[in-house]
Structure 1
């Protein structure tokens, strides 16, 4: 990719960020965005996987194993790319305050988006009837990260692609056992 193309992509990404970012949302909108963002923090993933493994044998155990393998693949990639790209968060580049404090200083890829789409993909594999609500939730988690001001749109798109890819690899790996 040429420097001109990279600059144009960054310009478009920044413009989209300012279309989606909401520095002073209404209280209900702020609560929804923050709630969706927090639902992608990871603690819920662990609780649901454990509950599934304990109460939905053997399907729940297969799901929990799939999620665990997918995260074992995703986490090292996430940290590698996060530090390799070292893209500063939009809330650190512009005179705008995010609605929450991010856990680190880099934004690409979005770990919340990667995790949400990884989890949704694994759940969809085991509970296809839940496809639509899971896709809405994962999209909501991803969008919330831009709305609250801690990610650019490209960060969440690449995070989503990474999460879906890692889940798909885990599903293929475990399906061939």
Structure 2
């Protein structure tokens, strides 16, 4: 376990400091900001309602359920149980941290951003892939970029985001399965 933790810290420093550049310093804080993605969320809502009518409301409802389940499991159940300190609050990393965003006082494992965005991405991929194949790479890239930004800005270790991605993927598949069982007939 100590070897895994050491690898995680070394990988964190390689990403957080080693990839440091002006463009990423500008872009990564934006990618993890919930307001940055507001136009995308609005587009999804309008698209679902306009294209799918009544079923669109169920889709939006399931996206909200997907988000709520991810948030509940990651931030309310796992984080307090594990209690891992964020890298930006870890005294042993004080000399390595570049403060790009406020650190926050919550725990680090797993990344709730990664969990929620992978859950939503997987749900949307499962839903729309049969009709629109580009959603697969776009959805994965979207969720990955947000997870990567969490490490780059210094608020999560790589394993936090990897586990969050795995957890979110499972949640996305689960809520899509639920959606297929409750969706209205078209």
Q: TM-score range by the shorter chain?
A: 0.7 to 0.9
TM-score (norm 2): 0.81
The two structures, once aligned, show a CA RMSD in angstroms of 2.3
- CA 159–120 in structure 1, closer or farther in 2 if over 3 Å, else same: same
> Alpha-carbon deviation of 1:102?
3.3
> What are structure 2's unaligned runs of at least 5 residues?
none
Partner of 1:69: 65
- Is the partner of 2:33 in helix, strand or coil? helix
Q: Matches of 1:12 and 1:20 in 2, distance apart?
A: 12
- CA 26–72 in structure 1, closer or farther in 2 if over 3 Å, else same: closer
Flag as ranges the 4+ runs of structure 1 deviating above 4 A. Answer: 39-46
Partner of 1:160: 165
Q: Matches of 2:137 and 2:17 in 1, distance apart?
A: 26
Deviation string, structure 1 residues 76-124 (Cα, Å, up to 9, x no partner): 2112111111100011111124310134331101011111111111211
Deviation string, structure 1 residues 60-86 (Cα, Å, up to 9, x no partner): 334312212222322221121111111
Q: Kindly indicate whether the alpha-carbon contact (under 8 Å) linking 2:121 and 2:140 is maintained by their aligned counterparts in 1.
A: yes
Deviation string, structure 1 residues 124-169 (Cα, Å, up to 9, x no partner): 1222221111111111111111111110000000111111111111
> Alpha-carbon deviation of 1:44?
5.9
Q: Kindly indicate whether the alpha-carbon contact (under 8 Å) linking 2:15 and 2:151 is maintained by their aligned counterparts in 1.
A: yes
Residue 11 (structure 2) pairs with residue 16 (structure 1): yes
TM-score (norm 1): 0.85
> What are structure 1's unaligned runs of at least 5 residues?
1-5
Q: How many residues get paired?
A: 172
Partner of 1:115: 116
Deviation string, structure 1 residues 1-33 (Cα, Å, up to 9, x no partner): xxxxx2111111111111111389332221221
Q: Matches of 1:123 and 1:20 in 2, distance apart?
A: 29
- CA 60–131 in structure 1, closer or farther in 2 if over 3 Å, else same: farther
- Is the partner of 1:167 in helix, strand or coil? helix
